[in-house]
Amino acid sequence: MNTDQQTLNIHLAQAQPSATYRMMDRVAARRACGAKVISLSAGEPDFDTPVHIREAAIEAIRAGHTRYTQVAGMRPLREAVAAKFRNENGLDEVTWQDTIVCSGGKQVIYNALAATLNEGDEVIVPAPYWVSYPEMVQLCGARAVIVTCGSESGFKLTPRALADAIGPRTRWLILNSPSNPTGAVYTRDELAALAEVLLAHPHVLVLSDDIYEHLIFDGAAFHTIAQVEPRLMSRTMTMNGVSKAYAMTGWRIGFGTGPRWLLEAMEKLQGQQTSGASSISQHAALAALTGPQQFIGETCSVFEQRRDLMVRLLNETPGLSCPTPGGAFYAFVSCEGLMGRTTAAGTKLCTDDDVAAALLDEANVAVVQGSAFGLAPYIRIAYALDDDALIEACRAIKRFCQSL
Ligand SMILES: Cc1ncc(COP(=O)(O)O)c(C=O)c1O
């Protein structure tokens, strides 16, 4: 540890920077050197925010809505968020006082954890997981209990694995459906079975990360655990946001509903931290939630077509095996068949880290190694690009794999 690190907060010093942001930096560095890189690494839709939402933000600026809002969000937005939870998720009792608005879904999750975790507490994180969960837990001084959920269970947590992971120090279980990085979607029955286990352990809180709710394929229905088992409502933080559904990643608006004691603690924390989210973004989010919704259906079917394209092309590639994801815009591809092979440039592929690095260096395609999400050897491919770019990227990946 060097001197600079010794001056850091111990929890921060031990946390890892985001692997996805690191890959984005490497892509930027290669592009700066003139390389034409196709990036399949970013976790954001490639569409523009719908015009009526952008117009609402411009109108908010013109109307002078440029001051601080209430810490937990402006009331009209909180009312829209409550209506969303009631109407779309069947959380019938939610009123605006049962909601909080934060600067991105990420802040909802972080603040829920930071408001509740103490040294020695445990958080159950099913793997593959979104890169930020274990690091957030670590930043809060608690311990992430990683439960590996392999392809045999569709990358999903089983009731037995959950029961085995719960201990006296368990404070939270984090669930994410549709999942980043696998696109796995929990069915109503699967959530009910997990809820059954949780009912026997009243000390465990549940964080349901529903940020990809609207990106769900094959006509499947979306379910969230507090709806499936209302008896868990009093200890569940159901979080969501506008980033993925309305292509609003840069606007930084997320929201959640949960028990009042938790919301009050999160509001107290936020009041000493960022205060209310950007007033202009809140007006944009209000337009998103209350305006026309066809954008969601249209983008979802585009992603579904791309999913079909990617699964087909990747499964035609020697050494790769791609299960069919049920939602989000990620494919979690096994690269086990590439292990031990040597690239044209002479690199031996021993890990999925090696595969991601070689794909970037030798094929100019950026993906993220599965180990960053807690399961190897895989690569995560984000298909948030148009068909031509995806086809070109898959061709480059295939050429790379054939040349080994
Ligand atoms: C699983 C998951 N949860 C939460 C977020 C946070 O979204 P945001 O902070 O942009 O609202 C992301 C973003 O990539 C995500 O993939």
Q: What is the pLDDT of residues 220-260, one digit of tens each?
A: 999 999 999 999 999 999 999 999 999 999 999 999 999 99
Is the C-alpha dihedral spanning 378, 382, 383, 385 positive or negative?
negative
DSSP 8-state assignment for residue 178? S
Handedness of CA 152, 158, 160, 163 (dihedral sign): positive
The verdict on the CB of residue 158 being under 6 Å from ligand 1 is no
* Mean confidence (pLDDT) of the chain: 96
- Residue 119: partners with Cβ closer than 8 Å, 6 or more residues away: 141, 142
Q: What is the pLDDT of residues 314-368, one digit of tens each?
A: 999 999 999 999 999 999 999 999 999 999 999 999 999 999 999 999 999 999 9
Quick check: CB of 176 below 6 Å from ligand 1?
A: yes
Cβ-based neighbours of 254, under 8 Å, separated by 6 or more: 101, 102, 103, 104, 105, 106, 107, 108, 211, 239, 240, 241, 242, 243
pLDDT score of 6: 72
Average pLDDT of span 149-158? 97
Q: CA 284 to CA 249: how far, in whole Å?
A: 12
Query: How many secondary structure helices (H) and strands (E) does the chain include?
Result: 15, 12
| 385 has pLDDT over 80 | yes
From the list 170, 182, 174, 28, the residue with the least C-alpha distance to 112 is 174
Cα–Cα–Cα angle for 50, 52, 55, nearest 5°?
110
Question: Minimal CA–CA distance to 381: which of 296, 302, 313, 316?
Answer: 313
Any ligand 1 atom below 6 A from CB of 18: no
Q: Is 151 helix (H, G, I), strand (E, B) or coil?
A: helix
The answer on pLDDT for 5 being more than 80 is no
284 pLDDT exceeds 60? yes
Q: What is the pLDDT of residues 40-97, one digit of tens each?
A: 998 889 999 999 999 999 999 999 999 999 999 999 999 999 999 999 999 999 999 9
Please work out whether the CB of residue 327 comes within 6 Å of at least one atom of ligand 1.
Answer: no
Percent with pLDDT over 70 in the chain: 99
From ligand 1's centre to the CA of 111, what distance in Å?
14
Which single residue is written with the structure tokens 């409550």? Answer: 82
Mutate to test the pocket of ligand 1, among 103, 155, 211, 239 (most ligand atoms within 8 A of CB): 211
Closest-lying ligand 1 atom to the alpha carbon of residue 107: 9
Residue type at 265 in one-letter notation? A
Q: What is residue 392's predicted lDDT score, i.e. its pLDDT?
A: 97
Could you tell me if the CB of 209 is within 6 A of ligand 1?
yes
Candidate from 102, 180, 213 with most ligand 1 atoms within 8 A of CB, to mutate: 180
Mean pLDDT of 203-218: 98
| pLDDT grade for 160, boundaries at 50, 70 and 90 | very high
Q: Is 156 in the pocket of ligand 1 (CB under 6 A)?
A: no
Q: For residue 1, how far is its CA from the centre of ligand 1 (angstroms)? A: 31
Atom of ligand 1 at shortest range from CA of 241: 11
Atom of ligand 1 at shortest range from CA of 209: 3
Atom 16 (ligand 1) nearest CA: 180
Alpha-carbon distance 137 to 139, whole Å? Answer: 5
Find out whether the beta carbon of 282 lies less than 6 Å from any atom of ligand 1.
no
> Would you say the CB of residue 180 lies under 6 angstroms from ligand 1?
yes
- Quick one: pLDDT at residue 22? 84
- Number of neighbours of residue 55 by Cβ within 10 angstroms: 13
Q: Which residues of 132-160 are buried (b: 16+ CB within 10 A; e: fewer)?
A: bbbbbbbbbbbbbbbbebeeeebbbbbee
Out of 24, 41, 49, 106, mutate this one to test ligand 1's pocket (max ligand atoms within 8 Å of CB): namely: 106
| Model-wide pTM > 0.85 | yes
pLDDT at 121 over 70: yes
**CA 194 remoteness from chain centre:** 20
Q: What's the one-letter identity of residue 203?
A: H
- For ligand 1, what atom is nearest to the CA of residue 108? 9
Is the pLDDT assigned to residue 305 strictly greater than 90?
yes
Q: What pLDDT, on a 0 to 100 scale, did the predictor assign at position 145?
A: 98
Per-residue confidence (pLDDT) for residue 3, from 0 to 100: 58
What is the CA(283)–ligand 1 centre distance, in A? 20
Ligand 1 nearest atom to the CA of residue 20, by list position: 14
Provide the CB-side half-sphere exposure for 92 (13 A, CA): 4
